[in-house]
Structure 1
Amino acid sequence: MTEKFYYHNPYTAKIVATVLDVREKDGERWVLTDQTVFYPGGGGQLPDRGLIEKQTVTDVKEKNGKIWHKLQKDASQFVPGQKVTMEIDWPYRFYQMQQHTGQHLLSAVLERAGWPTVSVHLGEAHTLIEVEGRLPETAELHNLEKQAQTMIARALAVKTHWVTADDMDRFPLRRPPAKFDNLRVVEIEHLDYSACGGTHLQNTAEIGLIKIVGCEKIRGRARIKALIGERAFEYMEQLHQTSVLLREKLNTDHLQFNERVAQLQEELHYLKRLKKFYQQYFVNFTSRELAESTNNALVVFKMEQGEQDDAAAIAKKLSQTYHKVALIQFDRRFFLTSPSAERFDTIKFIKENAEHLEIRGGGPQGYCQGVMKRNNLNQIAETVNMALKSI
């Protein structure tokens, strides 16, 4: 059995331990010690990270009461009986403790409001709590946050108890455990009792902040997404910086953001309508000018302004309204249109000439679009003209 220092004092970050066993299998390197500060994960909490003698520990697992540490590199430097220094990544551990204790507190608040917890996931970025019941309304989520913050501010003591089946009646557990003998119970004073093997804070004040950032329906239940502790503060700082930037960009106070955005959306809607009108005018005018500028069956044009959609629209209009075969280039894209397959078969042309013209493309009969590997509009136009003369 490995002595679990993270239960004696979860605030201990560094100890000296004795190597008991070293194993390498399938390219993985594992070290077993007589005691450890590394929590192996469980109950939704991720394993600790850190170092053993400056070697990175990438995973931690418990098997039959023994805690094994997976090393990133060669384990040959370790031998049974050797004294080693092991040190966890303390900021990461403390965040995990914030998250885990914060989850217990939030689950207790949710339970009191009628949303009992079904499952939890404590991720590196956020906490997910799946609860029975309908989706909470926005106002209800805000109220749950306020209740959680009240409990945080009260600095409620967090205690752990090892409980036998005979003592279970003294601990009103929020969720019944799978087993009842020698059970570890985490208590948040006056608020919650939960069976749990994870690492926790000394009191709720150390949680700092809980921010609910999402809620969705899943499997007929509600899943709440929350940021806890350090991640919540980081999120609020990002929101603050975004707010400062928007105040500068919008030239208004954050309390008027909604009003200003609504005004900008209205202006944007008007400008989009105006743009559509002028685009149509541009397409009609350019198509007419091109059609009237030549008596040839083929109209060739390289667009230097406008948008790709304009080029496509001009090519279509030249064929549909003015009965021309059109070859329009926009950047390295081209549009090849024809009034009919009898007049000019666009699909056949692409298939027969793709290789030597170094083009690729396709589309329905009468409207093909593609890409030119080379800027060879004139060569493509000459080949189209030759094909038209052969009809």
Structure 2
Amino acid sequence: MKHRGRHRRQRRGRALRAFLAGTALALTGAATMISASQATDSEAPGALKPITSSERIAALRLQEQQVPEATLDRLASEMGRPVGVSAVLENADHSLRNAADCPAEDREALPVEPLATRAQCWDAADTRSWQAGAVTTSGDADDDGLWGQNRVLLSGWAQHAAAGHGLARVAFVDANDLDRLTYTWVLLTVPVDGGRNYRALDSDVSGMVWYGEKLLVTAADGVYAYDMNRVQRATVDSASVGRVPGGWSAHGARFVLPAVGSYRPVDADAETDARPAGLSLDRSTSPDSLVASERTGAHGDGPALLWRYAFATDPSRSGLLATDFAGRADATEAYETKASDVQGVLSHRSHWYVSRASGEQGGRGTLWRQDADTAQATQCGSDDTQHCWSARTPSLSYWEATGEVWSQSGRMLFALPLASIDRSLG
């Protein structure tokens, strides 16, 4: 699918902003009491430290590997003609519930300050045993906020079974009516045996960006690329994954998305290579860039890394990273942050936003805005505590056309203006 003309983007952008305008939801149960032990953060990360070492920058280099076209074509010939995003949305067979109808224990996952202006929850029965992951939107996919005629949200989930048998899936959410979100599941897979079969992507979905025609998803061994024009229909409803008697199965999902490529560290055995965990899109750079964060623990050794890659500008490589003649993608900028347990990451203009998980059971996380000079956290309560954010938000996704940041925590999917985050900074 080609990007549309600028004049159509402007018209749709105005329509989208008008469509999404509204008042904040009354999220009962979100503003819970915060203990005095969380009143201050003794581990403020401070300003970002730019990385200038060419050796350290080189350690972030990724090698692009494309699935042969013949492999993808063989799979399509076996499964049937691929379908587009609109066909998936037409088959939406599940609904999210508005915040007022969500269980109190789910609503407690929402930020205290700033409050979410949109919030809905996933059906507990439909997500039981699955772990919520990253969020991306058609606001990432195209700068008018639309994909074709549709406003779309994508929500990633993972399920861990025995070693080597995990699953990753994405909810394709019809967001044309934000008060009535409907969705269906698409299983993320990887072609095998030359396109004669596929296996499940066994990975968390901690990072995910839909840009142009591609969906980029983090995995334990790198980043996988999916073509949004190559969604395949599953024909057998069973718990199996791949070719089965009578057709093709996707563990109960109606659709399958096979990987078309991947990005892995050039030296996969090097201990200095940071693996992307969180991902987001930054449209404030030229060209647009993919932002990445390193996975770190609550008590990790040393600073965490934040960095970015440029997207390709060649229309024939829509949604892929810019690479050299050998297919290598180099980081164009990198920083160290002293923030521990980094979850979601977002970059806009000169600011970097990182969400940090709660360091205690039942506690709240923090949301920091950092740059090369300062670090500030959102604050709340009479004692200006910094523990105002959700306990865990694997990703932050900025919908530029509306000015909203989308994320999810547990079974709550929510959005709030980026401007409200900036106003809440101490």
One fold, TM greater than 0.5? Answer: no
Q: TM-score, normalised by structure 1?
A: 0.22
Higher relative contact order (CA 8 A, sep 6+): 2
Q: Which has the higher strand share?
A: 2
Larger-gyration structure (1/2): 1
Q: TM-score, normalised by structure 2?
A: 0.20
